[in-house]
């Protein structure tokens, strides 16, 4: 027999060839120079003594029972601990997803699983039939798609377009399996759209503005239904987004329409005639004319009852807009030493850029000057500001990214060959247009990473305009741009087939959705 031990406890194992199962381990206790074998009592005595112990154990309080078991465990060997652990482990585990429906709490199980992403939801379906039932009857794939539509701009945009309108066209709601198979198809289409952006695959539509005298489209804004453009010939033209037909022409300015913005109620325009006009977006009626600036109104922005305009006269005007007919001047900001070409603002800052090569930051609430951003070598023609980021374009042919809080220049983008006239950005991309007639798409996230090589930042250069690019706007699926060549171009990255040809208006894949 073999004897081994540790501290004050040792064990005797049978020799090789004998039965060595753990139950035959015989505990011994060291005593002086020898060992005393603690023999196990006979089976009959064990059963009687066990029953007595259990009866006594059942009479104790829970606290006493726990203390007693802890004392017993402390006297056991490592093997016994492992055996007890194996016994307790499944007892301590709880399949709450299966247990909750058994208690009539299906909705709680569904709510817990509804927070899973697609990969985790796939794994959850494989756990057991009960989990699969909860996911299926809870329509959790449908809810996942709804959540993506609410939280992701790309999914939201897809849901609002005819091709991707997951709208339920029948009274019968599709089963969960339908939405489970729909999800990867949507992911595949999203990946295709992203690839179209990277590779420059697009469908191009062209609006010929046919200006009577001076040709050129200085500004534009669009939504799903219409495009509103401001022209060099003093007019404002409203176009049907689908048919591309001109719906209405607004006249009244005596100079070129250089800037505009509209919402669901009004169109506000600025002109080289030094005035700002407010129009009814539905009727085209002039509601108000603001006469303040001494020279051309070069840019304007309005939001939440506040409007900011800037001018060739080097000033910035801040207006309170109580209503379209009740607009009053709050403050004039002076500090630039040349024409103020562009303004943008939010609740915290007003940001302006000028031909004097500087960007100035002002407090929105107090209209007090905050700081100047210096870096461009020549005048600044355009900028956009959101959160902490300012992106500006200049006649030094570069684009700069700035941290508005500290004034630091984060990156300089080079690639345009002439003045950068217009710029926009979202969470993924910067899109710029220049007097070289080119539109460039840049990787915003890479541009914000100081380790990214400069050669990787420009994703694609689009060349279709035959004149200077004056203005552009874009979303997840398209760019709409205007130019000195008197055209408006719609660059569609959604409705593109694999061979580069446009898909029809009735695609083979149809999505059905979720009522909102």
pLDDT band at 495 (very low <50, low <70, confident <90, very high): confident
∠510-511-516 over CA atoms, to 5°? 145
The predicted pLDDT at position 502 comes to 43
Average pLDDT over residues 160-182: 70
The predicted pLDDT at position 510 comes to 30
Reduced to 3 states, what is the DSSP secondary structure of residue 433? strand
Span 203-229, pLDDT tens digits: 999 999 988 788 999 999 999 999 999
Least confident of 94-108, 138-152, 292-306, 445-459: 94-108
258 Cβ contact list (under 8 Å, min separation 6): 218, 219, 230, 270, 271, 272, 296, 297, 298, 299
pLDDT band at 425 (very low <50, low <70, confident <90, very high): very high
The predicted pLDDT at position 272 comes to 98
Is 259's pLDDT higher than 60?
yes
The pTM of the full predicted model, rounded to 2 decimals, is 0.78
Is 369's pLDDT higher than 80?
yes
Q: Answer whether 460's CB lies under 8 Å from 448's CB.
A: no
The predicted pLDDT at position 42 comes to 54
Distance from C-alpha of 455 to C-alpha of 475, rounded to nearest angstrom: 24
The predicted pLDDT at position 18 comes to 45
Distance from C-alpha of 87 to C-alpha of 503, rounded to nearest angstrom: 63
The predicted pLDDT at position 15 comes to 42
Is 23's pLDDT higher than 60?
no
pLDDT band at 44 (very low <50, low <70, confident <90, very high): low
Q: Answer whether 418's CB lies under 8 Å from 434's CB.
A: yes
Task: Write down the mean pLDDT value for the chain.
Answer: 87
Most confident by average pLDDT, 25-39, 44-58, 396-410:
396-410
CA distances from 240 to 237, 264, 490, 511 (A): 10, 16, 12, 25
Is 26's pLDDT higher than 90?
no
pLDDT band at 46 (very low <50, low <70, confident <90, very high): confident
Is 22's pLDDT higher than 50?
no
- Portion of the chain with pLDDT greater than 70, in percent: 86
Of 422 and 175, the structure prediction assigns the larger pLDDT to 422
Is 505's pLDDT higher than 50?
no
Between the CA atoms of 182, 164, 157 and 122, what dihedral angle is there, to the nearest 10 degrees? 0
- Which residues lie across from 463 on neighbouring strands? 438
The DSSP code sequence of 450-503 is TTS-GGGSEEEEEE--SS-EEEEEE-SSEEEEEETTSEEEEEESSSB-TTSPBP
Buried b (16+ CB within 10 A) or exposed e, 39-78: eeeeeeeeeeeeeeeeeeeeeeeeeeeeeeeeeeeeeeee
pLDDT band at 43 (very low <50, low <70, confident <90, very high): low
- Portion of the chain with pLDDT greater than 90, in percent: 74
The predicted pLDDT at position 372 comes to 98
Least confident of 59-68, 116-125, 257-266, 499-508: 499-508
The predicted pLDDT at position 508 comes to 30
Is 34's pLDDT higher than 50?
no
For the chain, give percent helix, strand, coil, nearest 5.
Answer: 25, 40, 35
Tell me how long the chain is.
516
Is 516's pLDDT higher than 50?
no
Span 262-309, pLDDT tens digits: 999 999 999 999 999 999 999 999 999 999 999 999 999 999 999 999
Dig out the tokens for 83 from the structure.
């055996």
The predicted pLDDT at position 499 comes to 56
223 Cβ contact list (under 8 Å, min separation 6): 241
Distance from C-alpha of 267 to C-alpha of 307, rounded to nearest angstrom: 12
pLDDT band at 434 (very low <50, low <70, confident <90, very high): very high
Is 29's pLDDT higher than 50?
no
């Amino acid at each position: 027999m073999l004897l081994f031990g540790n501290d004050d406890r040792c064990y005797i194992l049978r020799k090789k060839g004998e039965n060595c199962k753990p139950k035959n381990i015989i505990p011994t206790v060291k005593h002086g120079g020898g060992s005393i074998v603690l023999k196990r009592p006979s089976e009959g005595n064990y059963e009687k003594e066990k029953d007595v112990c259990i009866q006594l154990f059942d009479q104790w309080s829970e606290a006493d029972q726990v203390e007693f078991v802890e004392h017993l465990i402390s006297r056991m060997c490592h093997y016994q601990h492992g055996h007890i652990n194996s016994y307790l482990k499944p007892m301590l585990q709880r399949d709450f997803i299966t247990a909750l429906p058994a208690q009539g709490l299906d909705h709680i199980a569904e709510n817990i699983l509804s927070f899973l992403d697609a990969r985790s939801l796939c794994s959850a379906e494989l756990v057991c039939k009960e989990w699969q039932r909860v996911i299926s009857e809870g329509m959790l794939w449908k809810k996942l798609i709804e959540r993506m539509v609410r939280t992701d701009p790309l999914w939201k945009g897809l849901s609002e377009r005819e091709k991707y309108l997951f709208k339920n066209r029948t009274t019968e709601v599709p089963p969960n399996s339908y939405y489970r198979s729909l999800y990867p198809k949507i992911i595949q289409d999203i990946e295709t759209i992203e690839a179209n952006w990277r590779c420059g695959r697009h469908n191009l539509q062209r609006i010929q503005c046919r200006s009577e005298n001076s040709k050129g489209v200085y500004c534009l804004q669009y939504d799903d239904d219409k495009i509103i453009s401001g022209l060099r010939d003093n007019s404002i033209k409203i176009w049907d987004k689908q048919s591309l037909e001109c719906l209405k022409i607004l006249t009244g300015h005596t100079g070129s329409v250089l800037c505009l913005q509209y919402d669901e109620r009004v169109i506000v325009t600025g002109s080289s005639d030094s005035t700002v006009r407010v129009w009814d977006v539905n009727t085209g009626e002039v509601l108000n004319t603001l006469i303040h600036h001494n020279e051309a109104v070069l840019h304007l922005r309005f939001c939440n009852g506040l409007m900011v305009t800037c001018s060739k006269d080097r000033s910035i005007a801040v207006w309170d807009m109580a209503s379209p007919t009740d607009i009053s001047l709050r403050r004039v900001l002076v500090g630039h030493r040349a024409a103020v070409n562009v303004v943008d603002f939010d609740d915290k800052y007003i940001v302006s850029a000028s031909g004097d090569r500087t960007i100035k930051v002002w407090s929105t609430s107090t209209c007090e000057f905050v700081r100047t951003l210096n870096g461009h070598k020549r005048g600044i023609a355009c900028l956009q500001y959101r959160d902490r980021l300012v992106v500006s374009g200049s006649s030094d042919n570069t684009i700069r990214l700035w941290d508005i809080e500290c004034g630091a220049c984060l990156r300089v983008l080079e690639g345009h060959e002439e003045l950068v006239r217009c710029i926009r950005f979202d969470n993924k991309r910067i899109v710029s247009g220049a007097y070289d007639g080119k539109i460039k798409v840049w990787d915003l996230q890479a541009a914000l990473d100081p380790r990214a090589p400069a050669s990787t930042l420009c994703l694609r250069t689009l060349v279709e305009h035959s004149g200077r690019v004056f203005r552009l706007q874009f979303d997840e699926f398209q760019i709409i741009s205007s130019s000195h060549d008197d055209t408006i171009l719609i660059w569609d990255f959604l409705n593109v087939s694999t061979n580069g040809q446009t898909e029809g208006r009735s695609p083979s894949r149809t999505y059905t959705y979720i009522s909102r």
